[in-house]
Structure 1
Amino acid sequence: MKWCEVSIQTTHEATELIAEIFSDLGATGVVIEDPELINDYITSGKWDYTDIPIATETEVVTVKAYLTVNGELEGRLQTLKQEVKALEGRGVSITPGIITTNELADEDWSDTWKQYFHTEKPGDRIVIKPTWETYEPQDDEVIVEMDPGAAFGTGTHATTSMCICELEHLVKPGMKVFDVGTGSGILSIIAAKLGAKDIQAVDYDESVLKVVRENLQQNHVEDVISVAQSDLMQNVHGKAQLVIANIVADIIIRLFDQLDDHLEEDGTLLTSGIIEDRIDDVLEAAAAHGYGVVKRRENKGWACITFKKQA
């Protein structure tokens, strides 16, 4: 069997969205080459040795996927170009947006790309562990198992890791949580493992829900998390004490129109996926709907902002 390696040079903002497009196209594996993340690893001392130099240009991320070379390949590549162009139409910057292809001989991609993923501890308690590694929890650590071969959103991206840090403080035992734009389901899983008992995980893209359910079963939390396709919160029921929205700025801005109907009076909105240039737009929308900032984190050009309704 032959494979087509498809590479897209893009922005940090578009990285996970493009990874999801590849997943929808049936990619066997996706690799994200983020120079910021590589720099972090080099300076963190997590590698015993590396001759990789520190990158000085960190704005461009390369997303690679592997598609089977067959009669459907040309159609998939055309669909890819259309979907990437549609992101631009939604206001997502994909610059430079250069797409290249390269035909490769057969290889077991599921094993090759495991070298990029290792056990991580983004917060004080949560540990994200690939399914193929072993790890013994220390003290009150909480283990979440994620297979990046099956889903995107493994806790390594700044937007997700900031959310994880906040969830460690925000989630209370027995609380009701809505996870809007759940992606891989990682934040819902973490909320469940921290004690939330009624969680509704929704995503506009119905194709990701099968992967979410697999991840719930892997972590034994399927009894407390329901999964559904939904445009924002149209298909959630009742009011939650915590709403999580790790998506993009434009979608978060739309979310405020529905928030009062689905968030308890003293509830909390945790948002992330907000690129630095769009922070003011989100803050303006929040203020227009009567929501004020409780806490704001920034990391690698991204913001994670917690809101509450103002008195």
Structure 2
Amino acid sequence: MNWREVAVTVSSEGEEAVADLFYQIGCPGVSIEDPELLRNYIESGVWDYHGFGEVTLTGTSVIKGYLCEDDHLAKRMEQLDEGLRELVERFPEWVIQVKGITVQEEDWATAWKAYFKPTRVGRRFVIKPTWEKIEPGAEDLVLELDPGMAFGTGTHATTSLCLKVLEEIVQPGMKVFDLGTGSGILAIAAAKLGAEVEAVDLDPVAVRVAQENIDLNKVSEQVTVKHGDLGSVLNGQADLVVANIIADVILLLLSDLKRILKPEGEFLASGIIDNRADDVEAGMREAGLEVIEKRESSGWVLLRARWKSSASL
């Protein structure tokens, strides 16, 4: 199968906005090449398992999205073009340049590997690509990962926000639903904290990749991954429902939440670009939820919510 790689060079402050555009048009894979972010990681020691050479700052980022060259390509390209035009109108000072090439599936599925190195998230999680070697500490929980064509390496702010909250609130024996599991990273993390997890994704490629990562991490007895609509394939109710997707999808799945989230349960919603956070909060209130915590990182927002009757517990 052929894929269209669309590379958008944008001023660094527009990185999240362009990435969100790709997600909104249904792009199953997005990579971000940001020299400033790379240098910040190096200086912070987050990538303390790997050495890098000199990093040159350019003031721009390159956002690459990968779209299947099928009957939907023209529509998605039109939507992307409209979205970029709106950004140019709103932010005329931004640099926005677009180019696209056709690539083979195996080419784009490995193109981002140079930017995916062992990464520490939170206090205990260490995300380790399968092709890297590390010496973990005694308390470390290693998440062995090969995301392939599925979203979720742990380096994106939306995923790291979720991982940090999971580390704080997941207890052994909890039931967790992971909606839009992508690479399976959040499901695996919850399982390594002692939870029983059901993960689901609409994308069959993501389901395959997630299952491979679940097996790789030896948590297949704790994690079940299913293909289908984010809410309809799940049975029973969970103590915690996690959705690291995008604002519009989170709003759509709120109607299913009563069925799948226990009365005393919690909902973690991430993947929300900051200018959509108010919309999601409003949708949560209409659905009977109350936001009990809000976290932000690099222009992205995580909302932690409970049913209003349980918010004071």
TM range (shorter): 0.7 to 0.9
Amino acid at match of 1:82: K
Aligned residue number for residue 175 of structure 1: 174
SS in structure 1 opposite 2:164? helix
Stretch of structure 1 that moved more, 166-175 or 6-15: 6-15
Match of 2:217 in 1: 219
In the TM superposition, residue 7 of structure 1 has moved relative to its aligned partner by: 2.6
What does 1:174-193 align with in structure 2 at a 5 Å threshold?
Answer: 174-193=173-192
| Structure 2 unaligned residues grouped into runs of 5+ | 10-16, 89-95
TM-score, normalised to structure 2, is 0.79
Aligned partners of 2:85 and 2:185: how far apart in 1?
25
| Shift in alpha-carbon separation, 1:148–1:254, aligned structure 2, 3 A | closer
Partner of 1:62: 63
Per the TM alignment, residue 254 of structure 1 is displaced from its structure 2 partner at its CA by 1.6
| Corresponding residue of 1:249 | 247
Pick aligned residue for 1:304 from 302, 305, 311:
302
Counterpart of 2:75? 82
Relative to structure 1, the CA distance from residue 139 to residue 100 in structure 2 (aligned partners, 3 Å threshold; closer, same or farther) is same
Q: Over residues 89-145 of structure 1, what are the superposed CA-to-partner deviations in whole Å (9 max), with x where a residue is unaligned?
A: 9x99995786424589xx988877533221101111111001111222213110001
Instruction: Output aligned runs, 1:271-282, within 5 Å.
Output: 271-282=269-280
Mapped to 2, the partners of 1:93 and 1:185 lie a distance apart of: 34
Q: Structure 2 CA distance, aligned partners of 1:108 and 1:226?
A: 29
**Aligned: 1:52 with 2:55:** yes
Q: CA deviation at 1:211?
A: 1.1
Query: How large is the Cα RMSD of the aligned pairs?
Result: 3.4
Instruction: Please state how far the C-alpha of 1:250 moved relative to its aligned partner.
Output: 1.0
Shift of 1:220: 1.0
Helix, strand or coil at the partner of 1:13: helix
What's the CA shift string for 1:272-292, capped at 9, x where partnerless? Answer: 001111011111111112211
Which residue does the alignment assign to 1:71? Answer: none
Give 1:189 deviation, angstroms: 0.6
| Distance in 1 (alpha carbons) for counterparts of 2:73 and 2:127 | 30
The Cα shift of 1:152 comes to 2.7
Alignment match, 2:20: 13
Give the superposition deviation at 1:207.
3.0
1:105-120 aligned at under 5 Å gives the runs 113-120=112-119
Taking a change above 3 Å as real, the CA distance of residues 213 and 88 of structure 1, as seen in their structure-2 partners, is farther
Q: Give the superposition deviation at 1:38.
A: 2.7
Rate the CA distance shift 1:49–1:267 in 2: closer, same or farther, 3 A: closer
Q: Distance in 2 between matches of 1:260 and 1:118?
A: 39
Instruction: Tell me what 2:257 maps to.
Output: 259
Matches within 5 A, 1:99-110: 99-101=98-100
SS of 1:121's equivalent in the other structure is strand
% identity of equivalent residues: 41
Gaps of 5+ in 1: 23-29, 68-74
**Aligned partners of 1:93 and 1:152: how far apart in 2?**
26
Secondary structure, counterpart of 2:120 in structure 1? coil
CA distance in 1, matches of 2:284, 2:58: 36
